[in-house]
């Protein structure tokens, strides 16, 4: 079971809040708000958050679809 989880995580790229903010061209505070509201899934490591890159792509495409 641990091997399966490790294999699945090999395909996931985690981004810092600063990296997400830069990609989305928003402030870090906006990213924190999205994480705390549940709109952007994240994993907490100690005092920092990591966001799966796929979640950022999904959030951006959902917001683009909503505004169209």
Q: Which residues contact 24 (CB under 8 A, 6 or more apart)?
A: 30, 31, 56, 59, 60
Query: Tell me, what DSSP letter sits at residue 7?
Result: H
Q: Global pTM?
A: 0.77
The domain spans of the chain are: 2-67
Q: Which CATH architecture has domain 2-67?
A: Orthogonal Bundle (1.10)
51 close to 59: Cβ distance less than 8 angstroms:
no
pLDDT tens sequence across 12-60? 899 999 999 999 999 999 999 999 999 999 999 999 999 999 999 998 8
Helix segments in 1-68, DSSP class H: 2-10, 17-24, 28-37, 53-67
């Amino acid at each position: 079971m641990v091997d399966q989880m490790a294999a699945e995580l090999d395909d996931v790229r985690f981004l810092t809040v600063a990296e997400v903010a830069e990609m989305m061209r928003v402030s870090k505070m906006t990213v924190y708000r999205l994480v705390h509201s549940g709109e952007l899934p994240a994993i907490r490591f100690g005092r920092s958050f990591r966001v799966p890159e796929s979640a950022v792509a999904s959030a951006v495409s959902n917001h683009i679809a909503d505004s169209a």
